[in-house]
Amino acid sequence: MASTAEEATKELKLTFRAFKDGEYEQDDWQAAIFEADHSHKCPTYVHRTPPCQGSCPSGEDIRGWLQIVRGMEKPPEGVSMQEYAFRRSTDANPFPAMMGRVCPAPCEDGCNRNNVEDFVGINAVEQYIGDYAYAEKFEFDQAPPLSGKSVAIIGGGPAGLAAAYQLRRLGHKSTIFEQQEKLGGMMYYGIPGYRTPRELLEHEIQRILDLGDIEVRTGVKVGTDISIEELERGYDATLWAIGCQTGKGLPVPGGDAPNCVSGVKFLEAFNKGTLKVTAEKVVCVGGGDTSIDVVSVARRLGKIKQINPKDRVEEVVGGFVAHDVAFAANREGAHVTLTSLFEKKEMTATEHEVEDALREGVSIHDGVMPVEVITGEDGRAKALKMSRCTVDEKGIPTPIDGTEYEIECDLIVSAIGQGGDLSGLEELDNGRGLIDADQFYHLPERPGHFVAGDIIRPHLLTTAIGQASIAASCIDLYFSDAEMKKRPKVDVHHFNLLEKLNEAGLSPEQYDHTQKWGTSSADFAVHNYEDRSAHEIIASDELFLAHFQYTERNKRKQVGPTDEEVLGHFKERQLGLTDEQAVAEAERCMSCGMCFECDNCVIYCPQDAVFRVKKDKSTTGRYVDTDYDRCIGCHICADVCPTGYIDMGMGE
Q: Mean pLDDT across the stretch 539-550?
A: 92
Q: Which of 353, 441, 370 is nearest to 404 (CA)?
A: 370
What is the rounded CA–CA span in Å between residue 389 and residue 370? 10
Query: Is the confidence at residue 29, as pLDDT, over 80?
Result: no
Element containing residue 55 per DSSP (H, E): helix 51-55
Domains, the chain, ranges and CATH?
55-138+549-580 (1.10.1060.10), 150-245+420-479 (3.50.50.60), 247-417 (3.50.50.60)
pLDDT exceeding 70 applies to what percent of the chain? 93
pLDDT band at residue 31 using 50, 70 and 90 as cut-offs:
low
pLDDT band at residue 445 using 50, 70 and 90 as cut-offs:
confident
Q: Please give the pLDDT value at position 263.
A: 95
Element containing residue 295 per DSSP (H, E): helix 289-301
Q: Which of 637, 616, 617 is nearest to 626 (CA)?
A: 637
Query: Is the confidence at residue 4, as pLDDT, over 70?
Result: no
Query: Is the confidence at residue 39, as pLDDT, over 90?
Result: no
In tens, the pLDDT along 376-422 reads: 999 999 999 999 999 988 888 999 999 999 999 999 999 998 888 99
Q: Which of 272, 274, 248, 252 is nearest to 262 (CA)?
A: 248
Strand partners, 154: 177, 240
Element containing residue 203 per DSSP (H, E): helix 198-209
Q: What are the backbone dihedrals phi and psi of residue 187, each rounded to the nearest 5 degrees, phi first?
A: -65, -30
